[in-house]
Structures are given as structure tokens and as C-alpha cells.
Chains A and B, each alone.
Chain A
Amino acid sequence: MNTKLKIQKKMRQGLVILDGATGTQLQALGMPDGESPEMFGIKNPEAIKAVHQGYLEAGSDIIYTCTFGANRYKLPQYGLSDVHEVNKRLAAIAKEAAGKRGLVAGDIGPTGRFVEPFGDLSFEDAVACYKEQVRGLLEGGVDLFVIETMIDIQETRAALIAIKEVSDRFTICSMTFDTSGRTLNGTDLLSALITLQALGADVVGCNCSAGPKEMIPLIRQMKPYAKVPLVAKPNAGLPKLKEGKAFFEMGAEEFSSFGPAFVDAGARLLGGCCGTTPEHIRMLRKNCDGLKPQPPQVKSIGAVSSHAKTVMFDRGGPLIIIGERINPTGKKDLQQGLLMGKFSLASSYARDQVKKGASILDVNVGMPGLDEKGALREVVKQIALTTDAPLCIDTSRVDALESELRVYPGRALINSISGEENTLDERLKLAAFYGAMFILLPIAGRTVPKTSSERRKIIKDVYVKAGRYGFTKDDIIVDALTMAVSADGAAAIETLKTIDWCNSTFGSKTVVGLSNVSFGLPERKWVNASFLAMAISGGLTCAIANPESIELMSIKKASDVLAGRDKDASAFISFFSGPKGQVPDPEKEVQDKTSKERIYQAVIEGDRDGIQTPIDKAIAEGLSARALVDELMVPAIRKVGELYEKKTYFLPQLIASAETMKRGFEHLAPRLSEEGISSAGKGTIMLATVKGDIHDIGKNIVGLMLKNNGFHVIDLGKDVDHEALREAARKHNPDIIGLSALMTTTMVNMQEAVRSIKDSGLVCDFLVGGAVVTADYASSIGANFAKDGVEAVRVAEYLISLKRNTNI
């Protein structure tokens, strides 16, 4: 019996027990701080053998080789270089320890690098790195492989592909999720499961990061969608920090008490990660003795995924929109961008379509004069960085398809595989190897079959051939073929018949390329939308369409409700309701207020666009500009200052009010001038961020607040050296110089700036502030302090009043 069958048999018999932590065990056997387990294992084979034996004696069915970091990117950091030899040696030690008592899994961990599209390591380099490790482990005699503690789905895919291309050994894939069910790189549980089981992992699950209590819900969430067994290898609780030292404190008894709950949640392989010991494993085995784990609940699943999102094809659910816009046909700007190697427009199309309701994005870059394979690779890379939507790879070229399926960080949808004899097997083989779903195009010759019955025959033929590669109806979406009604009046009817047959007889999902139906007609959007409504009623699963068409999306939402595919009409209600429900009528509200109230209210509420009209009205009613400022705007901004100080308002509200005030001032400026009111107002303040510091947002806020309170503000900008400051001071003779700094290291430049001004004989007050500046520091350099813009106004007013009183 080969190893794969042996493991499968073992899983049928009961729970498979894995091993526990290696590092802490080696530490107890003398591994020095900072040394890697791989290096210690090579130098001390007896120690690593003892650890393996400890777990086997405790009841582990499978032990992991001590090769978690034994790849070409990690080993040099540990002082080792021969990847093949290290893996072979450590695998051989594990095999020797196991004898016939257990199986040995070749342990593969992260490279520490990030794989494209999320990092700079090319996918092929990652695959090559893992192949090197896999070959060493195989030579050392491992029975199976385990890819574990992964956070990057792309790196996990690279490792799995490397194993598949070198051997047919049983492979466990385990990623590390936080309690919210996402890896650090943002991959969610479901997307990891869908992607990895489709790609050929024999077991999927999670390890490390969390303790058993936190990991049980993760396994439970995966279970309904898992067609493969699930593995869980939690830590001994979460690490605790005490007096600067970190440690795991969950004992064997408590740890093992979670075993039955794991089995109930759906785990079929259980072990321990960081902080666990042979005792944890022994107790786990004991506590799970006799338990019968559940087999996978599903045999196949219709779902596509990206690195961080899964779309399930639920035939009874709302219609799924596959965004059609990333296609150069008829789009000159996109064509030009692609030819010039600029892919930002494709990213922008991707983002916009997702915002408008596309769940999946079709990507087609086929056009004359373009290296389709290279362009497709780049566009997909850009889109993966822009959105989480799974992709539908739309290309007629097999080489481009293969290149893309290999690096796509999820389970892709292929558009499409037809019944063409010369490409069918090649495309099915590719789809099967990379675990992709595909759109079945019922075309088998040079002409498009006109009738539904002709199409059905091709669908059945292709399905039979796909079955030989392991595909089920869940993996297939049938294109019902949409042709132009302008050319053939029965075209739409034949498409609808095909949808109906797939839905009610054949039992597959369906898709249409919607806009073909209206080709050659005017006002196409109405034809498209009507056809969509009819197709939804017939059970259409998804449509390749433009989600930016309001008519289309509105009809889709309504049709989903009418066809009973939008439960409780919740998607419809959410689509057509405002985000906050009942929206008050702003016009009515303002009509009920006097212009004076509206001016005051505009400043209080920070309504920048709502202050000019009531000002004009108030002036027309005979009020003076000065009265508006003194009796309404200034009291309003002071009230805002109070609200800010009480924290009833936070910074954006304070600034919005200040900007409203500023806009009001600017609108009133000509009238204030006519009324003889000087813009210099209360005094002149010169502001700067000190030498060496480029952080100026705080200074800008202070400037705005001072302007609004009647000060003339001269802003010198940021990183202003002492000479420039002195020159400006000579020129403008300010009442106050305000200096800002963010860092302690640039704060010291305030002292030099103040000294420089004073030494030059200029007389003025200084006001300083910034994240690290304190009142004590300000005082020590002979300056005044303000903690924020509101306080700066108060301090400035005080300093000016002192100056005026002194002058009197």
C-alpha cells in the first residue's frame, strides 16, 4: 500500500495525531539562545532524534522533520548553506527515529520573502526554492509533506506546486490565521481553503498563532466548504509576557481538553504547535481516544477565490456579475495603455467595477500587436494589488492561460473551454492541474450552434471529457451562448432554452455574455436589461456585463427579488436606500431658519458651502459685515473652540468650522474693507516649522485658527533655517513668531532659532508647539507654549493684549 493510501486509511479509522513543538524541546536539550533548530539538529542528531522519539512514544502518528526553515533564503541566516544536504540529513534522522512506528512529514515553512504580486520574489524563484527543499526531503525518505505556518497564499501555492511537480506524495497545507480568520497578509479562511484544496492539497487547516480555544471556531467555519480533511495544530495558548520574558503557560491537561471540541468542529488531524510538549500530545491522544471524526461534507464545490475573497456560485442566490470592462475591444484608451505598457487604467476599471457591484472581473487583453502573455501577467498582477475580486481569465491562447493560472493567487475561472477537439484536452489538463473552474463554451466547430439542442449535445460531450480529469458539474459554468437578436430573431429564445435546460435538467450553473444580444440595435441598454430579467427568471447564475450600467444593475436587483433569489429583498433594499435611511430635507431645514441663524449654524457645523448664501441675504437685509463677524461668526468659532476643548468636537470638526469661517471672511473681505476694517486685525504672527523638520500639518492648523481670529498670519513653510527666519522677521516685524517641531531631535532647533532672533536685536514674542514640545521646554528657551490651535489663539490674544497694555 502506498503512503497516500496508508494515510487515507488511517484517517478513515479515526483521528490522526501529529506531533508538538520542536524548538522548546530542543531548548530543553541545550539549544543555545539564537541558534536555529536546523543548525542544532545537524550538530546534535541525537537530540533531534530524542525529540522525535518523545512524540512517537506519546502517540503521534505523524512527526514533522526539523526543516521548517531549511530553504535557500533562510538557511544562510542560520549559518547553513547546503539546502539539499540539510534537508536530507534531517529527514533521515526523523525516519530513523520513526522506524515503523509512525510516518514522517517533510516540513516546509515560509521563505521569509514575499512572492509576486505581493512581493519581489518571482513565483518561479519561489517554486525553484521549494523544489530544492522537496528533493532533499525526498532523498531523506519522507513519507509525506507538510507546508505550514504560512501567511502568504501565493507562497503556499508555490510550495504546493513545487511538491506536485516533483512527487505525488500526500501533502498537508496549513496556514496561520488570527482570531478574525485572516492571515497577516489578509487571506481569509475560506479563500485559503478553496484555493488550496482546488490546487491539490490533501489536507488543509491551520496552525500556530492561536491557542486551541481560538482555533476551534476557525475549523468550524471551514468545515462546510472542505472537500478535504482538516488539520489543526494550535499553540499551548497565547504567549504571555512577564517581566520582559515571553512564555506559553497552557498545560497538557487543559490543552488536551479541547481535543473533543476540535473533532466536533471537523478536525481529522490534530497536534500541537509552539509551547506544546510530548505530554500535551500524550494527553491529547488519551482524551480523543475512540472519537470518530467526521468525513468531509462536500465532494466538490463551485467557488472561485482571490487571495482574500471567495465567490460561491449558488444557483438559488442573486445573479453574480462578472465585470466585462477590462477588455481592449472598442476602448482606445485601454488599447493605448496596454501597448505602452501602462496598466493603471485596467486597475482603475477593476476598482470601479467592483464599486458598482461586480463580484468577479473578466480580464481580456487580446489585441493585435500586443504580447498577450506578458500583458496579461502584468494586468492581473496590478488588479490583484487593487481589488480582492476573483478573476476570470479570458484568453484564447493556451500559453497565456497557463502562465496566468500558474501565478494567479487564488482559484481562477477560465473563460473559456470549448468543445474544439484540438484544444480541449490541453485546456482541461491545465484547468485540472491548477484547480481552476471553467466556463464551458458549447462550440465544437467553425460555426456557432444555433439551437439549444445542438448546444446541449456539445455541453454533454465536453462534460464527459472533463469528468476524466476529475471535474464535476460544480466546477463548470455553461455559457448559454448569446447571439445578436438583430441578426436572428430567435437567438435570445435559444439562449433562454439552454439556460433552462442547464438549470432544470443538466444541473449546472450558467453564464451569458450579455451585451451580445443587443448588437446592432439602438438603445442597447434596454435590450440588455430586459434580456437579463428574462434570463434571471430562467435561473441564470451569472452574467458577463458592465456593472456601471445603472439600468442593468437596477433591473438585476429587482429581478433577483422577483425570482426569489434575494432573500427578504435585503440586497435590493440596501441598494436603493440611502446609507443612513431617512434623509432629512436640507432645503426645508434651512428655510425654517433666519439668515443670521444659518450663518452661525454654518460655522458651528463646518458647512463650508453653506455660509455664503446666508451672508449675502443678511447683507441684503441691511446687516453690516462687521456685525456678521463680531456677533455671529466669532462667537460661533469660539463656541467651536469650547466644544473642541471639551472633546465634544474632534479635530476634523474644528478645522471644518475654521475653514467655513475663513470662507465667510473671504466672502466678506471687500465689505469689511469698505467698512474700514483692517485685515491685519489683532496683530501679525509669523509661523514656521523649524530647521530639519518637514511635518507641517499642525502649523497649518494653527495658522488657520489664528487667521480666523483676526490675526495677520505670515506662513514661512517647513524646514526653515535660522537665517531665513531672521530675514523674514526683519522684513515683517511680527508681533509673535510661532515655531513648530514634531521630533525631539528637531525641537532643539527651536532654542537656536529663538536665540538667533533675539541676538539679532529683534523684539517679539515666541510661541512654540508640536507633538513633543512641553510648556517646561518652551519656558526654558524663553518662549510661550500652546498645545493646539485653540490654545494658540488664546495665548496669542494674551500676548498681544500684554503688548498693547505695555505700549499704553
Chain B
Amino acid sequence: MTIRITLPGRSIYARLGFKKGVTELKGAQKDKVDKAIDEAAEIIHLKGAARMVNLMRIDAAGVELEDGVLFSSGALAKMLSGCTHVLLMGATAGQNIMDAIAQATSSDNLTRAVVLDAVASEMTDGALDWIMDYVNQDLMRRVQHLTKKRFSAGYGDFYLENQKAMYDLLRMETIGVSITDRCILIPEKSVTAVAGVAALR
């Protein structure tokens, strides 16, 4: 699916280290940063994938999803405690922005590259927020809701190897994402995550 989100300007600035009331940014410098942000937003085409799967078993060491998919992670199991289903989700900012970052880096414009990179990261993250908001909207009508947090492979004890199963279940090749032997998603600004579905009271 194509995802359209509002440009998360504040979080892009925050990611770049801007601190309101402390950081001093003159007009011309701000114009340059804003221009790069706008250009990045123009070439980023967010695409996402999501899939709801049954949560079959959960214990301290990890979780088992339908079709025998196992995720060994104590932290993930803790987050999914009390859930009936699991939402798998993935998003990508696409290859164009990675080409633009590489081009800016190779033409000695790292300032631009850093801003483009921050926009791509925040927008990809924003795409997952969007997916969660979207799914939550539907779940609310079914008296359910998503866990506030989500978990991505590669963090904590949820090892990167789990990304392969997520990639396959989400069929991320359909949104233009590939995966390396080392379970890295290509293009770089691509991400997968897991959230739980619990009852709403």
C-alpha cells in the first residue's frame, strides 16, 4: 500500500539535534535545511505492508505465531503478554531517497545527505505509526487495540535473524524491498516491526 503522511518536521529537526530555545538557526541556514527536507519528502514514496496473525503460544523465552513461526525474544514475549493476535508491519522510503543520499555524499554535500537521511528515517518510522493508527481504527470497532509499543528485529534480544520470517510473512518484495543473507533490508530505509493486539475494555 502507498502511505501518505504529514511531514514530521518537528521530529526531523529533533533527530538532527535541534533543541528549541537553545539551538540558534539563522534564516539562510534554516531555509537550506527546510529546502532539503522538502526535496526529500518529494522523492520519498512510502510503501507499507501489514498482516495480522494469530498468537499461538507465549512464554518467557518467546512467542509462537500461526504456521509455526517462532520468535525467540523475552522482551517481545513480555510486550505481547495478554495479546490474542500479532500485527506484523513493514515500511520503506524507497530507493530514490537512498540514491539521493548517496549522490549528495559523493558530491561532498554531507550536510544535505544528513538531512535527507533524517527525513527518510523519520518518515519510515512515521509510516509504521500510520499503519498502527490505521489498524487501531479498525480494531477499535472490534473492541480491540494495539499495544502502544512496537518491537523491531535487531534490537534487544529480538535478533536480526527474525527479520527474514517477518520479511516473508509480509511479502515485502511486493513493496520493492529485498533482504540480504545477513537479514539487512534493502533499501536501507526499510523497517519491520511487531505489535500486539489486546482487548479493549
Residues of A within 8 A of B (CB): 23-24, 26-27, 31, 33-34, 36-37, 68-69, 77, 109-110, 112-114, 118-120, 149, 151, 176, 182, 184-186, 208-209, 235, 239, 241, 244-247, 274, 351, 385, 579-580, 605-606, 644, 646-653, 655-656, 658-659, 662-663, 691-695, 697, 700-701, 704, 719, 743-746, 772
Contacts and interface: CB of A to CB of B under 8 A. Distances in A.
Contacts of B29: 605-606, 652-653, 656
A694 B199 CA distance: 39
Given A184-B134, A579-B31, 9 more contacts: A69-B138, A149-B137, A151-B137, A185-B4, A245-B201, A247-B200, A652-B16, A691-B182, A700-B113
B116 to A, nearest CB: 9
A652 B160 CA distance: 31
Contact of B160 (A239, A241, A246, A746): A746
Contacts of A113: 1
20 contacts: A24-B143, A26-B143, A69-B138, A109-B141, A112-B138, A118-B1, A182-B6, A208-B140, A246-B198, A274-B141, A605-B29, A647-B19, A650-B23, A650-B25, A651-B17, A652-B29, A662-B108, A692-B184, A697-B105, A745-B155
A90 B49 CA distance: 31
Contact of B23 (A110, A185, A648): A648
Given A149-B137, A245-B198, A647-B17, A36 B142 contact: yes
A31 B143 contact: yes
Interface in B155-180: 155-156, 159-160
A581 B143 CA distance: 53
Given A176-B137, A648-B23, A743 B111 contact: no
Nearest to B189: A695
B18 A650 contact: yes
Contact of B141 (A69, A580, A658, A694): A69
| Residue of B110, B159, B160 contacting most chain A CB atoms (<10 Å) | B110
B142 A23 contact: yes
A110 B110 contact: no
Given A605-B29, A649-B24, A743 B154 contact: yes
Interface string B80-124: 001011000000000000000100010011110111011000000
A130 B179 CA distance: 37
B141 A239 contact: no
B33 interface: yes
A149 B142 CA distance: 12
B141 A744 contact: no
B137 A184 contact: yes
A647 B108 CA distance: 24
B144 interface: yes
A79 to B, nearest CB: 11
Contacts of B153: 745
A606 B111 contact: yes
Given A244-B82, A653-B25, A697 B117 contact: yes
B100 to A, nearest CB: 13
B153 to A, nearest CB: 8
Given A36-B142, A239-B145, A700-B113, A745 B154 contact: yes
B156 A744 contact: yes
B27 interface: yes
A662 B109 CA distance: 11
Contacts of A176: 137
A735 to B, nearest CB: 24
Contact of A745 (B138, B159, B197): B159
A659 B118 CA distance: 18
Contact of B134 (A120, A151, A772): A151
